[in-house]
Amino acid sequence: MKIGVIGTGIVGQTLAKAWAANGHEIVIGTREPGADRISEMVKACGTSASATLVDRCHAGADAVLLAVPGRNAVEIASNAGDLSGKVLMDANNPIGDDMMPFTEAGESLAELIANATGARVVKAFNTIGMGNVAKLDFDGQKAAGFVCGDDADAKSLTMGLASEIGFDAVDCGPLSAARLLEPMALMWIRLAYVEKNGPDIAFGLLRRS
């Protein structure tokens, strides 16, 4: 599968490397394809990875990951070329510099991105610290990978990509459920850093047999 990755921070780097290790072709979208740090990211992903300009990284891609600062997500997605109809995995959170959500009641960042781009947006990968992606098993319990979206095929593809790198992929329903998933990121941050549990934590979904 060919996956475009918009964003070269820890989220983009971590997920790109994990998918590349599973044999997927990774195309990193950036404003500076030849920069040293981008070259290092490409190198970390292996021979199946490359970098190009943001508006070209999704050409022929089966899915695109958007992993950028939340406050800039709508603008970056809107200026990333034609994303209409693309599977766009939104891993961003609407958290401002004051560590408070900047979305209004009754809306989510995922829905704003969908409205701005016409993409088949799926919310995913936003409720866990990326340091855990390499070790998603917590004493026999997999970390939950919560996913929501309006397009069944886009959601199924995203859940597959989550499952194959070790998440317990959980279908949370339509994209409007992102209004519930996005605040979970703030709870994760609070538990990890304010309540001093540390970042080696994750949410899970317990099921009775």
> Residue 73 pLDDT more than 70?
yes
Percent of the chain residues topping a pLDDT of 90 = 90
Query: Would you call 191 exposed, middle or buried from its count of C-beta atoms within 10 A (0-12, 13-18, 19+)?
Result: middle
The DSSP letter of residue 150 is S
What is the rounded average pLDDT of the residues 16-26? 97
> Residue 161 pLDDT more than 90?
yes
Structure-block tokens of residue 161: 């990509």
Q: What is the pTM of this model?
A: 0.95
- Domains of the chain, with CATH numbers? 2-194 (3.40.50.720)
Q: In this predicted structure, what is the pLDDT of residue 54?
A: 96
Would you mind telling me the total number of residues written for the chain in this entry? Answer: 209
Nearest to 193 by CA among 92, 68, 99, 52: 99
> Residue 169 pLDDT more than 70?
yes
Structure-block tokens of residue 7: 């964003």
